[in-house]
């Protein structure tokens, strides 16, 4: 669970023009569920996600993750947390071009043994990529298949929190829907945080957080903070 207090992010600190990407708000996020983050371009969605996932350090404020203060962790502790508990899906899949679909999934696994390979195949099959696709390189897969492979990679270590920044933006409606079904299912037991411009894919979200100019303008569904 995340407890966020007064989270503030200012870019270009040394310049006269300061950008308040996050304006200093509080927010609590539960252990599981599908949480959507929505808002116009530049409203701070990615910045919030990068701060929560320790990829960026906020200028001010506190982020507690299961009672641990993320902003005071050492770099190595942050890396371990990301590796062991967090998974990431981005708008672009960032698959390794010369590796097969299966190898792209196992590449980030904590262990790389036979069981991991089997697990990767099970994940891919569950996402509609059968034996035919397992040995294909990303260039030979469709856009939707590539993104589902990227999601399998993000899930191979069974992260407690899955961060997804516009995971469906490059997909057509049908593939976006398939990806959302996968994320919704994962959110039954884990926390899935998903940034999107497309409100329609969040129809089953447990909570929708709306950002506007670096602040929360509305929270819909679930318990409010
Ligand atoms: N590395 C950076 N250096 C300086 N300013 C930045 C940087 N990254 C983001 N910003 C600024 O911070 C604000 C929030 O950006 P952020 O990327 O979080 O927005 P966003 O909601 O994810 O937008 P989008 O929907 O376009 O991805 C914007 O004004 C942006 O210009
Ligand atoms: Mg963004």
Residue 41 above 70 pLDDT?
yes
Q: Residue 225 — very low, low, confident or very high, per pLDDT cuts 50/70/90?
A: very low
- Asked if residue 158 is part of any domain, the answer here is yes
Ligand 1 contact via 169 beta carbon (within 6 Å): no
Mean pLDDT of 3-19: 87
pLDDT for 163-218, tens place per residue?
A: 999 999 888 888 888 889 999 999 999 999 999 988 889 999 999 999 999 999 99
- Asked if residue 44 is part of any domain, the answer here is yes
Query: Which residues are CB-neighbours of 3 under 8 A, at least 6 positions away?
Result: 28, 62, 63, 64
Residue 46 above 80 pLDDT?
yes
- Residue 148, pLDDT score: 93
Query: Pairing mode, if any, of strands 2-11 and 60-65?
Result: antiparallel
Residues, CB-to-ion distance under 5 Å, ligand 2: 46
Q: Which ligand is nearest to the CA of 213?
A: 1
Q: Which domain holds residue 11?
A: 2-220
- Asked if residue 112 is part of any domain, the answer here is yes
How far is ligand 2, taken at its centre, from the CA of residue 211, in Å?
12
CATH assignment of the domain containing 113: 3.40.50.300
- Residue 14, pLDDT score: 76
1: nearest Cα among 85, 110, 90: 85
- Asked if residue 225 is part of any domain, the answer here is no
- Residue 222, pLDDT score: 61
Ligand 1 contact via 38 beta carbon (within 6 Å): no
How far is ligand 2, taken at its centre, from the CA of residue 114, in Å?
37
Q: How far apart, in whole angstroms, are the C-alpha atoms of residue 31 and residue 1?
A: 5
- This prediction's pTM: 0.93
- Asked if residue 16 is part of any domain, the answer here is yes
Residue 93 above 90 pLDDT?
no
In contact, 194 and 164? CB cutoff 8 Å: yes
Name which residue leads in pLDDT, 111 or 79.
79
| Nearest atom within ligand 1 for CA of residue 44 | 18
32: nearest Cα among 148, 215, 158: 158
Give the count of domains, the chain: 1
């Amino acid at each position: 669970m995340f407890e966020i207090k007064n989270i503030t992010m200012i870019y270009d600190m040394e310049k006269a023009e300061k950008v308040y990407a996050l304006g200093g708000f509080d927010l609590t996020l539960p252990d599981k569920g599908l949480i959507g983050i929505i808002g116009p371009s530049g409203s701070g969605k990615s910045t919030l996600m990068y701060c929560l996932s320790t990829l960026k350090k906020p200028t001010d404020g506190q982020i507690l993750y299961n009672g641990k203060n993320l902003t005071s962790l050492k770099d190595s502790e942050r890396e371990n947390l990301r590796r062991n508990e967090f998974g990431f899906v981005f708008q672009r899949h960032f698959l390794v071009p010369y590796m097969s679909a299966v190898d792209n999934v196992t590449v980030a696994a904590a262990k790389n043994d036979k069981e991991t390979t089997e697990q990767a195949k099970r994940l891919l099959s569950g996402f509609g990529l059968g034996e035919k696709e397992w040995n294909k390189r990303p260039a030979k897969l469709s856009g939707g298949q590539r993104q589902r492979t990227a999601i399998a990679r993000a899930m191979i270590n069974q992260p407690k929190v899955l961060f997804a920044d516009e995971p469906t933006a490059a997909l057509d409606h049908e593939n976006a829907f398939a990806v959302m079904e996968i994320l919704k299912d994962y959110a039954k037991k884990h926390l899935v945080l998903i940034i999107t411009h497309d409100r329609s894919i969040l129809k089953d979200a447990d909570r929708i957080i709306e950002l506007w100019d670096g602040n929360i303008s509305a929270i819909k569904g679930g318990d409010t903070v």
